[in-house]
Amino acid sequence: MPPLTSARVDAWLWAVRLFKTRSAANAACRAGHVRVNGERVKAAQAVRPGDEVRARIAGFERIVVVKTCLVKRVGAPAAAEALTDLTPPPPPREEVAAVPVRDRGAGRPTKRDRREIERLRDRAES
């Protein structure tokens, strides 16, 4: 059987294990979290070798280039060979701004609390 020249983007994302289920990949496409070559795509859009796929997964963007088209789920080693991962490494924990946590049910922050929160945010941005 000759290798595939194209595959549905949702099936490919699922086959290379970027999404746990095909329906999750389909939902991400419908929500606009998947881009192929910079364009938002529907789930049935075809991907070909050489296409750049950007998928927003759990708040982080994964950037991969299609090497091989797959439509069936494969093992992790085969999935790793089917793509080139260009995702930059995540920022160190020190650079990620700490979000102040308020107790549940504490209500609206007072003026003093709000000023402290703004002071913390200003420090985190600097």
pLDDT digits (tens, 9 = 90+) for 54-86: 999 988 899 999 999 999 999 999 999 999 999
pLDDT at 53: 95
Q: What global pTM score does this model have?
A: 0.72
Residues of the chain with pLDDT under 70: 1-2, 93-100, 102, 105, 124-126
Query: What is the C-alpha to C-alpha distance for residues 91 and 114, in angstroms, rounded to an integer?
Result: 27
* Sole residue written with tokens 């797959």: 70
User: Cα 41–46–50 angle (5° rounding)?
Assistant: 100
Sheet holding 52-57, edge to edge: 39-40, 34-36, 52-57, 60-66, 83-85
Query: What is the C-alpha to C-alpha distance for residues 107 and 102, in angstroms, rounded to an integer?
Result: 9
pLDDT at 122: 79
pLDDT at 109: 83
pLDDT at 67: 95
pLDDT at 125: 65
Query: What is the C-alpha to C-alpha distance for residues 70 and 39, in angstroms, rounded to an integer?
Result: 21
